Structures are given as C-alpha cells and as structure tokens.
Structure 1
Amino acid sequence: MLDVRRLRLLRDLAQHGTIAAVAAAHTYTPSAVSQQLAVLEREAGVPLLERTGRRVALTPAGRTLVQHAEEVLAALERAAAALAAGRDGLCGPLRIGAFPTAMRTLLPPALVALGEAHPRLELSVHEFDPAVVPHLLRDGTLDVALVHDYDLVPIEPDPALRTVALLDETIYVAAAEARDLPGCRDEPWILASPGTLCHTMTVRACEAAGFIPRVRHHADDFVTVLTFVAAGQGVALVPELAATGVPAGVVLTPLETRRRTRLAFRAGAAQHPAVAAFAEAMGARTDH
C-alpha cells in the first residue's frame, strides 16, 4: 500500500525540483526526505527517481505516480469536504491568505458577511505575496487565498490547485503628469521588492516598451508608492485596487495590461462548506 504522506513528498518534488526545497517546505532534513522517497520506491516496486550526482529527476514511472498522487490528494480533499458538509453548521478554522490591496479593499466586507452568517467559523487572515501562496495552499498552511497575476506574468497551471476568477483590473502609470510607458524611459522608478509578481510585471512592461527601468526605490505598499510619486521620487505602475485616495500631484494614465484577481484553493476542496461560503462572500462560485 502506498503511503499518502510519501506520495505528497513525491508530488512536491515534482513541483519544487530539488530534495532540499521539499525538505525546507516540510521542515524535514534532506536526508529524511530521501529516505522517505526511497521507501516509496520500494512500495511502488519500480524506480521513481533518477540520480545524477546531487541532482534527481523523476522517471516516467515517477511522473505517472505524481499524476495519480494529485488525484488521491484531491479525493482526500473531497472526502474532507463531504464530512464537513455533514456537520451541524459551519465551525472551525478557515485560514485565508491575501495580498495587501485585497486585504484593504476586497476582504473586509467578505469577513463581515462571513462573521454574521457563520459566527462559529474561526476566520484567520494572513498577508502574503501571491508568488508564495501556491506552496502554502499545497502544504495546508492556508485553506483558501486571494491571488493575482498579470497578463505579462501569468500563473503557471498547478494541478494541485483550482482558481476562480474574481476581478480584472486596469494597470496605471503613476507620474506627476500624464505619461505613457515609453515616455517614462528616462525617469527614476519605484518598484516592488525583487521576487514579487508586481516587481516582475513592472520590469516586463518596461522591457516590452523598449527599456529597462532605472530603479530608485523599492516599496511594496501602494499607498507608500503613490506618496513617493507625489513627492517627486519617481514613477510607478499601480493596479486599479490601489488607485484610491490618490494624492495631489499624481496623475494616473491607464495601460492595456491587466491584473487578474482569483480565488485559489486545493483541488477537491471546491465543495467544502467553508471554502464555498468564503467564495460566496467574495461574490464567486466554486462549482463552475
């Protein structure tokens, strides 16, 4: 009988690419992960990994088993959802991840609605950049999350997760006067922290316009970004959700590029009552 916990490790190896990354994700040692995968190989009766020096890759049998592991894990999520649906009313924890502009704009009304409709539901909200959310959903740290991507930085499909569209936003150039993107070639720029989706989006948008942005400041909070623009510290790209309370001296010029906000959860969890209730409060449906 194949062990579900070891199947999860194999699935995560396919996702992360290295045993060290899987170990870090599960707070194990790399040797412990290697030992568990070796046991899984013995259970499967076929080689699952190819080792070349310090690197490992999945064999064809390993890739096949990962596909089945995704189905097994999704089935377990559906089983948990069915059991939760049989309880008397919604109760227990619901761990929600969200990015800062959603925390400030989209999430508060949904939290109020959920609290009124399901007072026994224990809501817990955590702020994360969308780039790290898929891992946190896969390992069970989060139950549901608001994530975003850009047409210039699309989310890679993840068989372990499902997403539901919530909102499309316009992206604006924020400057002291109306400016298109090529007109900002020689301006100093205010970018989000390297490694975030917002940083990558700005760099790619500028590259598509024919230049590399000259970065003066890094700031992740869009209120701060707009304040810096108003203070003459540079130009920036900001999404529509952040374009409220724009300070004097800042002009927003719309671009064609868009940001898409989505509701994300584990595959198989769509019918979990708490996930469905959260989706309803956000104005989405998980049964599409």
Structure 2
Amino acid sequence: MLDVRRLRLLSDLHRLGTIAAVADARSYTASAVSQQLTALERETGVALLERTGRRVTLTAAGQVLVRHTETVLAALEEAGASLAAVRSGPAGPVRIGAFPSVMRTLLPPVLVTLGHDHPALELTVTELDPALVPAALRERRLDVGLTSDYDIAPAEPDPSLDSVPLLRETVYLAEPASTATGSVAGVASTPWILATPGTLCHEAILRVCRDAEFIPRARHHADDFATVLALVAAGQGVSLVPELAATTPPAGVRLTALPVSRRTSIGFRRGAAAHPAVAAVIAALRQRRATGASADPGDPGRSADPARGPMHRQG
C-alpha cells in the first residue's frame, strides 16, 4: 500500500521543482522530504527520482505515478465529502480565501447569509492574493478560494483543483481627469502605475499596452487598487483597474471602459464540490452574484458596456 502523504510530496516535487521548495511549502526539513521520497521508492520498487549532483528530476515511472496521484487525491477528497454529507448538513470549519476587492464588496453579505442559514458553520476568511490561492488550497490551508485572471492573460489550469465561474468584470483605464485621453494609445508616453512584476495584474497591463504597440513606462508599483486610484488622482500616472475596485474612485479620476475583462472563479480541491460546507459557500456566493447584489447599490459587479465609450466618474 502506497503512503498518501509520500504521494503528496512526490506531486509537490513535480509541481515545485526542488526538494527545498517542497520542504518550505510543507514546513519540513529538506532531509525529511528526501527520506520520505526514498521510502516511497522502496514502496513502489522502482526508481522515481533521478539525482544529478544537487538536482533531482522525476523518472518516467515518477511521472506516471504523479498522474495517478492526482486521481487518488481527488478520490480521497470526494470520499471525505460524501462522508460529510452523510453525517450532517453544512457544519464545522470552513476556511475561505479572497482578494481585497471581493472582501470589500461581495463577501461580507455572503458571510451574513451563511451565518444565518447555516449557523453550524465556523467561517474563517483570509485576505490573499489570487496567485497564492491555488497553493493554499493544495496545502489544505484553505477550503474555498476566490481566484482571478484576465481574458487577455489567462491563468494556467491546476490539475489538483476545480473551480466554478463567479463573475466577470469590465477593466477600466484610470487617468487623471485633467489630462485624460480616454484611450490606451493616448497614454503611451504617460508614466504608469504597475502591479508587482510576476502578478497577473502586471501581465494584463503589459498585454494591453503591447496591443496598443508600446511598452508602459513604470513610475510606481502598487498592488492595492485603492492605492493605485489615489496615485492616479494625485497625477502620478495612469493604470488599469477592474470594476469591483472602481465603484467609488477619488475625485479627479476618469475611468474609461476597455474591451478587457477580469474573471473571478470559486476554487476548491478536486472532489470537494459535494462537501456540504464547501457546497454551501459556493451556493451562497453564486446566489449573491445571480441576484446582482453587492455591497454597493450600483452593483459594481455588472459589466459596463464598452461600446458606450469613455466612462466619466469624478468625485
């Protein structure tokens, strides 16, 4: 019988690339990870790893076992979900990860609804960058996580996770109102406020500018959209912001709708969709979205029509 914990480590190694990275993700020592993988090789009776100096790669047998591991882990998750459904309705701890604009708008009323409809749930929310949510789900630090990407910069699918779509938002060009041009091409020579390199928000800006045939000149880097809009209002540059983050822009900011969308999905481990607690959170989020309700009476989740042209929002 193969040890599931060791199979997880092999899958982690395939995904992360080094034993040191696996050790860091699992809060183990590198030596402990190596020992567990060696024990897994003894269990299988075949070489799973190729060691060249300090580098470790998976053999053909290791690759085969990783593919089966994803199926095994999903089956175990599904079995746990089925048992939970037999035992009771939605109950127990549920750890939710969400990014700031969802935390401010969509999530608070959902938490109220869940607390009212399912008082046995123990809800815990953590603010987390969407890029960090998949790892938190895989490592069982979250049960449900809100992830996002852009239609022009789609995220790579994760074979260990499933998701359902939640909302689609228009992305806006944010400019100082006093110098607004109303188009991406019009700000080719203007300083930009960019997200941290390596994030999807940063990549989305680069691709929008590339389509307009220029490379943005960075003046500032900021990941919080409230900060981004404050810098735009102060005349420090231009940027892109999604609709949920642009419901109440500061005075002096002009927003122009672009034919670009940010997509938000509800993520969870493969096999966990039928778990009563996970299903309750998914249903509450989707119901809130389906009613068009949000924390703002203007429903910031509703996409503006880019065909309407520039959208002015000041004060």
Same topology, TM > 0.5: yes
CA offset digits 1:80-109 (Å, max 9, x no partner): 111211223322110000111111111112
- Tell me the equivalent position of 1:221: 224
Query: 106-115 or 86-95: which moved more?
Result: 86-95
Task: Report the RMSD for the aligned CA atoms in angstroms.
Answer: 1.3
Shift of 1:117: 0.5
SS at match of 1:86: helix
Cα distance in 1 for partners of 2:56, 2:212 equals 40
Give 1:275-286 correspondences, 5 Å limit. 275-283=278-286
Task: Name the count of aligned residue pairs.
Answer: 284
Distance 1:205 1:27 in 2: 39
Query: TM-score, structure 1 length as denominator?
Result: 0.95
Does structure 1 retain, via aligned residues, the 8 Å contact 2:168–2:263?
A: yes
Q: Secondary structure at the match of 1:282?
A: helix
1:174 corresponds in structure 2 to 174
Paired with 1:51 and 1:144, the residues of 2 have a C-alpha distance of 37
The Cα shift of 1:200 comes to 2.3
- Aligned partner of 1:204 in structure 2 is 207
| Post-superposition offset of 1:45 | 0.8
Counterpart for residue 260 of structure 1: 263
Q: Which runs of 5+ in 2 are unaligned?
A: 288-315
Match of 2:298 in 1: none
Please state if 1:190 is matched with 2:193: yes
Q: CA deviation at 1:26?
A: 0.3
The Cα shift of 1:247 comes to 2.1
Give the equivalent residue in structure 1 for 2:10: 10
Corresponding residue number in structure 1 for 2:309: none
Match of 1:146 in 2: 146
**More off after superposition, 140-149 vs 45-54:** 45-54
| 1:30 paired residue number | 30
What is the identity, as a one-letter code, of the residue corresponding to 1:60? A
Percent identity reads: 65
- 1:178, 1:251 within 8 Å by CA — same for their partners in 2? no
User: How far apart are the structure 2 equivalents of 1:13 and 1:255?
Assistant: 40
Match of 1:273 in 2: 276
Report the more deviating stretch, 20-29 or 193-202.
Answer: 193-202
Query: In structure 2, what is the Cα distance between the partners aligned to 1:209 and 1:14?
Result: 38
Conserved 8 A contact 1:129-1:196: no
Q: Distance in 1 between matches of 2:252 and 2:137?
A: 41
Q: Equivalents in 1 of 2:216, 2:233: separation in Å? A: 19
Q: Give the superposition deviation at 1:158.
A: 0.9
Alignment check: 8 A CA contact 1:178 1:253 kept: no
Aligned to 2:304: none
C-alpha deviation, 1:222, in angstroms? 1.2
Is 50-59 or 128-137 further displaced after alignment?
A: 50-59
Residue in 2 aligned with 1:241? 244
Q: Structure 1 regions of 5+ residues with no counterpart?
A: none
Aligned amino acid, residue 259 of structure 2:
E
| Residue of structure 2 in register with 1:47 after alignment | 47
